[in-house]
């Protein structure tokens, strides 16, 4: 499986999280579509099927990630 470069993953995570910030408001339909597009790209880039798993996988691959810490994966 091809893996996205960590810089690309960081950019995607940031682009996904900015509209979700408390100060971002409800957002427009266009903003929501952009967020869905970024979420889809994150899923494809990490080989996952849902955004929560994609965010965990992307953060796991970022520089400085504590790869031995799997607490985010526990349910």
3-state secondary structure 25-67: CCCCHHHHHHHHHHHHHHHHHHCCCCHHHHHHHHHHHCCCCCC
Q: What is the pLDDT of residues 53-74, one digit of tens each?
A: 999 999 988 877 655 555 555 4
Nearest residue to 17 via CA among 60, 45, 48, 54: 54
Q: What is the pLDDT of residues 8-33, one digit of tens each?
A: 999 999 999 886 665 555 567 787 88
> CA-CA distance, 57 to 42, in Å (whole number)?
9
SS3 30: helix
User: What pTM value is reported for the model?
Assistant: 0.72
> CA-CA distance, 57 to 39, in Å (whole number)?
13
């Amino acid at each position: 499986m091809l893996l996205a470069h960590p810089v690309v993953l960081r950019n995607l995570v940031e682009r996904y999280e900015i509209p979700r910030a408390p100060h971002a408001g409800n957002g427009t339909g266009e903003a929501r579509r952009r967020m869905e597009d970024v979420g889809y790209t994150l899923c494809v880039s990490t080989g996952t099927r849902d955004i929560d798993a994609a965010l965990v996988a992307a953060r796991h691959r970022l520089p400085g990630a504590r790869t031995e810490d799997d607490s985010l994966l526990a349910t």
